[in-house]
Structure 1
């Protein structure tokens, strides 16, 4: 061993103020090993051993390199990552840090201080062999790691695990969410240039039977950070490149929230990777999955412990300015009340109900006749949380209606099997036929009104020139009333059937929000996207042409064709021309589409606004181009005045109809019909849904998780959903 290693190690240990025994405990190495390395009796320390020492001593990057070099391990510089990937990782880290800091402020985590969260090393049956956890070489033995710790030690505990894989088990409300947030912020605070970026992923939306883990991680990154859809190395997206290059450290939250029957497949999929990760779960679901398959390969396990009476006594009195408020409760609580107050969730609810509400007295919890069991107290705290947070400053909100709306949302998430409340998925559990009817009827009514008004104006102009304005207006009104309902029915059937086709061929993922924005100048050359869209347009046009031609053979002539000609060939040619123009316009628009700015992380409202703008521009462009083209064709066929009036008028109708049709099969259009019209009409949600969701976030009922909302607590969501179902 190089002679410099021992003296250097001793100097670094002394500077840190550690004894050999303390360093041995922190690094999980033996005291004899530390002593032997410092005296030179033990030679050739392995890279893993040196890194354990560096972690325990909390060395800087330069000091780590120096210690490795002194041990004879020359540090080869890693291949430089492409600059866009480095920038994307830095930007992602910045966004996550800012977002999670705001979430902690919103949840009052530091007011007055974070509730203690502690854990102990998990049971042997849920931890892989320590040789695997510590990445021991073949034939070597490895003893267990002491992983006991508390909230501010989670980063260090994870770094002490050579495999980088840690499972955190805790009951509902035990502090897993606070712990994962602290872990991410702690990792980001000490993140080095090439360290991976810790990202929280809610496992409840993962289907391991259909989606590979890395693919799902990429999809989630794209959802919450649309800017990562930009082109990365080797032609992939930046999101995919970050995942594949190991620049993302997955923090997988809620293994227990994966759909029933898929836990075994999920654990098998996780074992098929070697990714460092942190996984949280309720104990029972994880234990059952392990019994059916195996432990998470190379993963250590810790179990969260409850709050102590001292923790609660230190915390609750400091959450209120009313002296002595909590003294009766904390002095001698009944056993079942003391048990309730061992979980951070229940302590947080108790704080909201009593410390943050002037006219509530926590002494009522001591009434054993009213609250004879642990479950009765928990139900009381859960049931009164929403009325309490909506009480101050909300005279225009009926608490019962608010609970009904929130209950519907919780029930909706329960049926979807996900904790993620996404605005574009609000109608996903509606029957397909109902979605077709709602979309078709909504768009059909609008198209019918437009067609009626335009037809009336055309007849007013046309007849009014020859027979007088009064006669022209009367005839125009009559024609408009006749044309409107017929065109509404035609448009309703067209959009409804189109909706059904999109749902049939697109499955559950069809109405996904757009990750692009439209800019004024072309951003890229025409290429594969243009050709794909042109091909789709021609396919659509061919189908339309065949349908119109067959309709003419059966004796029916639709007005969009009849204004140009009444032959079968006219229908065929119209359909092909329509499809060609549609494909060309759609293809050309691809060159004006660019990914959302990398610096803008998506929030639910920001993503909704971006999609509204994008879909509006696309719909207007389609409507203008196709409407103008149709107007020109009619004008050529019918001559100057008559052709101009009819061409412009019915071109306007077609343009608006096309714009409405395009919007209806987008995520934003689907949201508009279902979230802003159908569900409020049925009383499931208020009319101002975005404002309601943001208000629920500000009041602490919901939290933001990237582009989606989640209920602040799974227990709260379960309670609201149960109450909603009981009142249906």
Structure 2
């Protein structure tokens, strides 16, 4: 739907017209009141006010109709520039985190060349044969279709090059008053999930995913996001194609699916896109034995090269400058520079020419009191182990108001790494960490006991009142024994107890609930909310009729008809409110902090419980006084009923929170897991807060709603040796922990 936009001109016209209209109405009212005793008073007022009212109405209508459509290029350009500034600011901070730098971060000048012609089995997008980080923007502009694949070994700087391209595009666009604004958006491909297998359906889900990201993270209206995406204003930079499928598989269904979707044209040309991927995985995806549609067609693939020794020394001088020393490099780094020059193929050079290992060395030895010369005395395996071992202490020591000790941080990160290793053995992702799913990878026998305890707590919500009602019915002599209706209720409660236990014990993955009340502001959401509320009221009326009918035939204890009506309508309102509020729930595709998914879901649960509990409490309080009070004192009974609603509503809301938690189960599993793991010091008591800190410190990153270790090799280093499966051992064998000339993902 092409919606209109409130521009400055339309706001002024509408406001001015509405003001004149209001003045005209006041004029009519005043004249009618002051001239009622004369025959011509009303006529004079109408004559004088009608032109003013007509003019005001006309101006207001003109103002409303003069609102430009959101799809106009001027409006889209304004949104695009604002979005581009937000994206550039966020990515500049991310780059500073990756480099461990402040101010204006400057990465080492990475070099690249096009992939060897013998390995190319797809059509390319032309472009120069060689380039560098400093020329990446002009290199990209030289492509015909804007389709680029950045390849390299783990830790070669693919993400850094992609961010540098994004920032260069943003700077060139913001410095010029161009009408057509291209907004590069970096997205983590492993976070994209779809059940579709057809290319057209994957493409649809992929575009919806980008629109949801723009709305969730940047607050861009969905209709504007959709228009900008379909018209080519958005340049997707997709990071981590190689992480979409496990390393120990020969089928790459998710990665091949997204490549097929990106080969579909938009209009007459393929989509502009930038992708990062490990070289080996991309060669597997583009193998000649596979269908050509599996490869990214009309795209140029560039391969990152290791840094040269002069580049390493130059960047060290940039990070630790001293104009009084040779190479403008601080004295404490002089021995490192000399060793690199004297042994350009030695163990230290092979280590530091990897961008990630260079970052590790700079981070570990950024303190002026440190001595990087000790790196020259370490052998290859010890050298790499040393850098990883000192990373966490160096980061924690460099932060002000440090809330955690380095030993705590490393122990908790090791616990999370072990969780991911166990998750991989169970068929789950080895990189994506979801706090509410931590219980699955706690290992035996803790996993079993968590499931049993959580299932028992969930079932106890109905088991306790069921047992109490049964004892009361069979022991109370005045009740006369249970009636048919009582047996029906008891049976339903017993079945519900079994259902809650079975539902919890089955341990199905439950999506986190996020209630977006802003959807009520929009017409589709408001209509759905009111429709569900109406359905609930109608069902409540039906329940009231059934209750009155059952009382007449002795199936339930006889009571006044007004009681059935009151409780039936109240129950219907409760049911309708529950469905209506749940209709506002949405799936989050991206978050700003690791703790946000769990925290927002808990807040949504509390909001839902307060709404349901408030309606239930109001129904109980008001119905009680309507039934027991005097019929002619309706206003008094309503006020007292409102007070009783507050008294009943608060405890009922708390109980409803537990009920919703019992039904959704994940909150019980999460709470029990944190209680057991934190008591053993394997995890912090507040893991969300800790991951927020780790995200700020640059130890973890976000991929949609999942949290990942910033560097895959750091995760493998922290994982216990007994938990490293074949896939992890394969990764280690090709990592710097086993061979110095390769390094982890940056």
- TM-score, normalised via structure 2 length: 0.63
The 8 Å contact of residues 631 and 646 in structure 1, kept in 2 or not, is answered as: yes
Distance 1:628 1:319, change over 3 A: same
194 and 692 in structure 1: CA distance in 2 versus 1, 3 angstrom threshold: same
State whether structure 2 residue 368 is matched by structure 1 residue 386. no
1:149 partner SS: strand
Return closer, same or farther for 1:285/1:107 CA change in 2, 3 Å cut-off: closer
**Are residues 201 and 653 of structure 1, via their aligned partners in 2, closer, same or farther at CA, if it must alter by over 3 Å?**
same
Deviation at 1:625, TM superposition (A): 0.8
SS in 2 for 1:166: strand
Change over 3 Å in CA distance of 1:311–1:402 after alignment to 2: same
Take 2:300 and 2:347, find their aligned partners in 1: how far apart are those partners?
A: 33
Counterpart of 1:252 (choices 207, 232, 238) is 238
Asked if the contact 1:516–1:594 (Cα under 8 Å) also holds between the matched residues in 2, the reply is no
Aligned match for 1:628, one of 618, 623, 627: 618
Report if the CA contact (8 A) 2:458-2:504 is conserved: no
Match of 1:694 among 686, 692, 698: 692
The equivalent of 1:167 in structure 2 is 149
Question: What does residue range 304-343 of structure 1 map to in structure 2 within 5 Å?
Answer: 304-320=304-320, 323-328=331-336, 329-333=339-343, 335-343=346-354
Identify the residue that residue 66 of structure 2 maps to in structure 1. Answer: none
Q: Quote how far apart the aligned CAs of 1:163 are.
A: 1.6
Counterpart for residue 377 of structure 1: 383
Partners of 1:298 and 1:451 in 2: CA distance = 66
Is the 8 Å Cα contact of residues 563 and 623 (structure 2) preserved in structure 1? no
Q: Deviations over 1:479-509 (max 9, x none)?
A: xxxxxxxxx99998675556579x76xxx57
Cα distance change, pair 382–450 in 1 and its aligned pair in 2 (3 A): farther
Say if 2:147 and 2:273, in contact at 8 Å, map to a contact too: yes
* Cα deviation, residue 107, structure 1: 3.5
Quickly say closer, same or farther: Cα 1:714–1:358, change in 2 above 3 A.
Answer: same
Q: Structure 1 residues 152, 528: CA separation in 2 closer, same or farther (over 3 Å shift)?
A: same
TM-superposed CA distance for 1:199, in Å, is: 1.0
Aligned to 2:429: 417
Distance in 2, Cα, partners of 1:540 & 1:339: 74
Shift of 1:209: 5.6
Q: For 1:546-565, what aligned pairs fall within 5 Å after superposition?
A: none
Work out the CA distance in 2 between the residues paired with 1:425 and 1:174.
32
Task: Calculate the aligned-residue CA RMSD, in Å.
Answer: 5.3
Alignment correspondent of 1:104: 95
Structure 2 gaps, min length 5: 1-69, 323-329, 468-492, 631-636, 726-746
**Does structure 1 retain, via aligned residues, the 8 Å contact 2:241–2:276?**
yes
d(CA) in 2 for partners of 1:496, 1:416: 24
Q: 1:222 is matched with which residue?
A: 212
Deviates more, 1:100-109 or 1:426-435: 426-435
Mapped partners of 1:725, 1:166: distance in 2: 37
Q: Check the 8 A contact 1:267/1:289 in 2, yes or no.
A: no
Q: 2:565 & 2:504 partners in 1: Cα distance?
A: 25
Question: Secondary structure of 1:167's match?
Answer: strand
Instruction: Decide whether aligned partners of structure 1 residues 87 and 214 sit closer, same or farther in structure 2, where only a CA change above 3 A counts.
Output: farther
Contact 2:307 2:355 in 1 (8 A): yes
Displacement after TM superposition at 1:213 (Å): 3.6
Which of residues 179, 201, 216 in structure 1 aligns to 2:187?
201
Find the aligned partners of 1:406 and 1:239 in 2 and give their Cα distance.
36
Quickly say closer, same or farther: Cα 1:312–1:651, change in 2 above 3 A: closer
User: Partner of 1:188 in structure 2?
Assistant: 170
Q: Decide whether the 8 Å contact of 1:542 with 1:579 is kept in 2.
A: no
Separation in 1, partners of 2:573, 2:704: 38
Structure 2 distance, partners of 1:275, 1:722, is 43
Query: Where in structure 2 are the equivalents of 1:200-599 lying within 5 Å?
Result: 200-207=186-193, 210=196, 212-219=202-209, 221-223=211-213, 225-226=215-216, 232-233=222-223, 238-260=224-246, 261=251, 262=253, 263-273=255-265, 274-291=270-287, 292-294=290-292, 295-320=295-320, 323-328=331-336, 329-333=339-343, 335-356=346-367, 358-367=369-378, 371=379, 373=380, 375-390=381-396, 394-395=404-405, 397-398=407-408, 401-408=411-418, 410-411=420-421, 416-417=428-429, 419-423=431-435, 426=438, 496=501, 508=509, 510-516=511-517, 526-532=526-532, 580-586=572-578, 589=581
CA distance in 2 between counterparts of 1:317 and 1:290 reads 40
Instruction: Write the distance in 1 (CA, Å) between the matches of 2:657 and 2:280.
Output: 52
The 8 Å contact of residues 608 and 668 in structure 1, kept in 2 or not, is answered as: no
- Aligned-pair distance for 1:93? 1.9
Distance 1:446 1:591, change over 3 A: closer
Contact 2:461 2:662 (8 Å CA) reproduced: no
Is the 1:116–1:150 contact (alpha carbons within 8 Å) kept by the matching residues of 2?
Answer: yes
Which whole-Å CA distance do the structure 1 matches of 2:522 and 2:627 have between them? 35
The structure-2 alpha-carbon separation of the partners of 1:537 and 1:88, relative to structure 1 and needing over 3 Å to count, comes to farther
Within 2, Cα distance between the matches of 1:671 and 1:244?
42
Q: Any unmatched runs of 5+ in structure 1? A: 1-78, 135-143, 453-487, 551-556, 558-563
Query: Structure 1 residues 579 and 208, CA, compared in 2 at 3 Å: closer, same or farther?
Result: same
- Contact 1:341–1:347 under 8 Å retained in 2: yes
Residue 158 of structure 1: CA displacement? Answer: 1.4
Deviations 1:646-705 (A, max 9, x none): 999877654432233335667995796367556535654201223211222233212356
Aligned residues of 1:118 and 1:304 also touching (Cα < 8 A): yes
Residues 672, 208 of structure 1: alpha-carbon distance in 2 compared, 3 angstrom cutoff: closer
Structure 2 CA distance for partners of 1:490 and 1:538, relative to 1, 3 Å: farther
Distance (Å, rounded) in 1 between the aligned partners of 2:528 and 2:221: 14
